[in-house]
Structure formats: structure tokens, C-alpha cells
Amino acid sequence: MTDALRIARLSKRWPNGTTALSDIDLTVGGDEFVAILGGSGAGKSTLLRCVARLIEPSAGSVVVDGVDVTAAKGRALTKARSRVGFVFQQFNLVPKYTALENVLLARVSRHSYWRGLLGRFTDEDRLAARSALERVGLGDKLDAPARELSGGQQQRVAVARAFAQEPRLLLADEPTASLDPRLAEVVLDLLRDYGRANHVAVLVNVHAIEHARNFATRVVGLQKGAVVFDGPASSLDDAAVERIYGERK
């Protein structure tokens, strides 16, 4: 069985010489929910963005569902990226588009360049988008412009957009940072349930240690761009937290 994600010696150095990631090696199975912990500047967001090829790594490889994302170019890169769903911290919705239109954007990569650019979506696309919005509890908001939705609703639209992509790997970069505790747990539940139901690996950058303990099957801790902890969530004790953050939290 192919691993959902294989990262080998992944490194990222910024033009000013700062090392954001240093020789990261990770293998993630298809049913894992991985919480990534680390302090500010630890490299969490850079790691996810390199995996999705939203930024270019300086060295190393990322293989998603058997496809080398780091080696892909042109149309092959677009197809490789379509295997990776990404939920951003700041939603990244088009304010004037409806919830349904925002979610449909996830289907653009399935069509030719011009068909996608013109928004000529199929009935299958529309069904997938509606189903994704219903899955996150927004079936009654299909025609609501994103700008009229609450922050929690906008984040759920962003989650639905990732679901409609039907990814083989799902990444979320601190998706609960702008949400109150109740809504944060709702979003994490949605991500976990999707991974379980579809046998899709989920990697989430989380801020709260308790979220890692309560929702993840595995925790990866980063410090200064390097992995300093990798183990089951049940082993995330005070000593592990101190190793990740350098002090007790």
C-alpha cells in the first residue's frame, strides 16, 4: 500500500540565509491524523506549504500518493497539487462569491485551463460542492456571499472547498486560530471525520496542545525547522512538550 505522504530530507532556506526547514524526514499513512506543534518560527507553516508546493523547497522531495510533487512541472504540477487539499488560517475566500461558488473553485483543476477559467462546471462538480457544504453544516448557505458569513462559517466554507477537491492528502495551517474554542473543535472534528471516512491522511498545524492530544493519532513537534518529537498523541506528556517548546506550557 502506497504511503499518503513521504518527505525526504526536505529543507528550506530563505534568501537572507535563514534556515526554515532542515532535513525533514516524515512518512505518513493514509489513516493518520497528524498534529504539528511548535513555537513561532518553528517551521510549521513552511513545512505544509512546501508539501503543497505553494513555496519551493531548497532541497529534498515530497511524494504524495506515489507522485513526486517536488519534481512536477507545468500541467503535471497542477495535477499534483490537486491531490493536496489545503485549509488556510485566513480562509482565502473570494468575498463577493457565494459559498457554493467558492467551493466550486476546488474543481477548476479537473478541467481544461479555459473551461476552468470561465467557470464552466459540470453537474458532478456542483453536486460535489453542494455535498461538501452540507457535510460542514452549511447546506442552507449555498447562495450566501462569503462576505456576509460569520468567521466560523467562512472557515467551514474553506474546509468544504478542500473536501470538494477530493484530495489524497489534507493539510490545514492553524485552521482554528481565529475561532472560539467551540468552533475550533467543530472544525477539527470535520477534518478528522473526513480523513477517517475517506482514508485520507490529515496534517494540521495546531496552536493548542490539548487539541493535539484530543484529536490527533500522531504528533510531530518542530523546533527551529527540525523534528524534535514524533510519536503517538498518547505519548505527548510534559517532557515531550518541553522538548518541543523548550519550556513547559
Query: Has residue 223 got a pLDDT over 50?
Result: yes
Phi, psi of 184 (to 5 degrees): -60, -45
Please give the domain boundaries of the chain with CATH numbers for all domains.
Answer: 1-83+170-249 (3.40.50.300), 91-166 (no CATH)
- The dihedral over CA atoms of 95, 99, 101, 104, expressed in degrees to the nearest 10, equals 120
Count of CA atoms in the C-beta half-sphere (13 A) of 137 = 10
Could you tell me the CA-to-CA distances from 196 to 13, 35, 135, 136, 201 in Å, in that order?
A: 35, 15, 14, 15, 8
pLDDT-based confidence at residue 172 (cuts at 50, 70, 90): very high
3-state secondary structure of 128: helix
Share of the chain above pLDDT 70, in %: 94
Share of the chain above pLDDT 90, in %: 78
Could you give the angle at the alpha carbon of 187 between the alpha carbons of 89 and 4, nearest 5°? 80
**What value does the mean pLDDT take over residues 24-42?**
95
pLDDT of residue 12: 97
* Average pLDDT of the chain, as a whole number: 92
Query: Has residue 118 got a pLDDT over 80?
Result: no
- The CA distance from 170 to 159, in Å, is 10
CB neighbours (10 Å) of residue 112? 11
pLDDT-based confidence at residue 109 (cuts at 50, 70, 90): confident
Higher-pLDDT residue of 90, 11 = 11
